[in-house]
Amino acid sequence: MTPKEKPSYLGHRERIRSKFAEGGLTPFLDHEVLELLLTYAIARRDTKPLAWALIKRFGSLSGVLDASAVELQSVKGIGSSTAVFIKLIRDIFKRYSLETVRESVVIRTPDQVAEYCKASLEGLSEECLELIYLSVRNTVTKTEIVATGLIDRVSVSPRKIVECALNAKAAAIILVHNHPSGDATPSLEDILLTREVVEAARLLGISVYDHIIVGKGTHYSLKANGKI
């Protein structure tokens, strides 16, 4: 390469950024999204091979975003700073989704919170139970993950859930948890736990609007399906 020639990756970076500027992400394939993303985290390097390596390792764009920082760094060429940058993108989307939910006037149906739930918990490798706290006007005031690991009545009691709601001064709550298997169908334990929370919360004047289970690309509302 002569001193006046530009490295080939510079032209590619310019082309892919121009493509986004002109049409957004709609025409992009998953690996191209990652290529573009990585250009802002990695300097002086062709990001296309790294994008393909990430897709190969994690299966999809969502798989890459759901991977932990440690898992991301198992791909050659992905250092700690790049891994943190990729995780930041996912958490920004989670924050954006929450803000969108908070702007809703009334929260009562599963679809109104489903996008936030999926952004928050879909694709995680372990079960998490998150509580969405609502005001008397049914607007979201905050969210909180109250348990991780195996979610049952032993690991997280109805009493603990209600105590968290009381501490948050919530008038109502929505329970959300994920199934890492990808199947959002509730187990008998999920149903029993939910019913016990409903009863315990009722005694203290707190409503339980729903329990939403997040799977891979899907969700299940216990209320909408007549389980509570």
Give the pair of three-digit tokens for residue 144.
């909180």
For residues 116 and 166, the model is more confident at 166
Please report, for the domain that includes residue 38, its CATH number. 1.10.150.20
As a whole number of angstroms, the distance between CA 141 and CA 36 comes to 35
Q: Is 68 inside any structural domain?
A: yes
Do 98 and 121 contact (CB within 8 A), yes or no?
Answer: no
Task: Output 110 or 183, whichever has higher pLDDT.
Answer: 183
List of long-range contacts for 159-164, beta carbons under 8 Å, 24+ apart:
159/200, 161/131, 161/197, 161/200, 161/201, 162/197, 162/200, 162/201, 162/204, 162/206, 164/131
User: Residue 102 pLDDT > 70, yes or no?
Assistant: no
The pTM assigned to this predicted structure is: 0.58
Mean pLDDT of 18-41: 89
Same domain, 111 and 90: no
Rounded Cα distance between 177 and 214, Å, is 6
Give the rounded percent of residues in the chain with a pLDDT score beyond 70: 85
Tell me if residue 146 falls in helix, strand or coil: strand
Asked whether residue 192 falls in the same domain as residue 131, the answer is yes
Residue 113 and residue 85 share a domain: no
Q: How many residues does the chain have?
A: 228
- Does residue 89 share a domain with residue 19? yes
Same domain? 87 vs 116? no
Environment class of residue 143 by beta-carbon count within 10 Å: exposed (0-12), middle (13-18) or buried (19+)? buried
Average pLDDT rounded to a whole number, residues 21-38: 89
Element (H, E) at 140: strand 140-148
Lowest mean pLDDT among 72-81, 108-117, 203-212: 108-117
Q: How many domains does the chain have?
A: 2
Q: How confident is the model at residue 50 (pLDDT cuts 50, 70, 90)?
A: very high
CA proximity to 47, closest of 64, 62, 57, 32: 32
Q: Is the domain of 119 the same as that of 192?
A: yes
Question: 119 is in which domain, residue-wise?
Answer: 107-221
Mean pLDDT across the chain: 83
| Whether residues 57 and 81 fall in one domain | yes
Residues 114 and 60 reside in one and the same domain: no
pLDDT digits (tens, 9 = 90+) for 122-160: 667 788 888 989 888 878 888 888 888 766 554 788 999
Please check whether residues 122 and 215 belong to one and the same domain.
yes
83 & 128 share domain: no
* Residue 88 belongs to some domain of the structure: yes
Which of 64-73, 134-143, 164-173, 202-211 comes out lowest in average pLDDT?
134-143
Q: What is the pLDDT of residue 105?
A: 46
**In a shared domain, residues 128 and 217:** yes
| Token pair for 120 | 């928050």
Can you give 92-136 as a three-state secondary structure string?
Answer: HHHHHHHHHHHCCCCCCCHHHHHHHHHHHHCCCCCCEEEEEEECC
Please state the φ and ψ torsions of residue 155, each to the nearest 5 degrees.
-75, -30
Cα 147 from Cα 71, distance rounded (Å): 22
User: Which CATH number belongs to the domain containing residue 130 in this structure?
Assistant: 3.40.140.10
* pLDDT reported for residue 171: 94
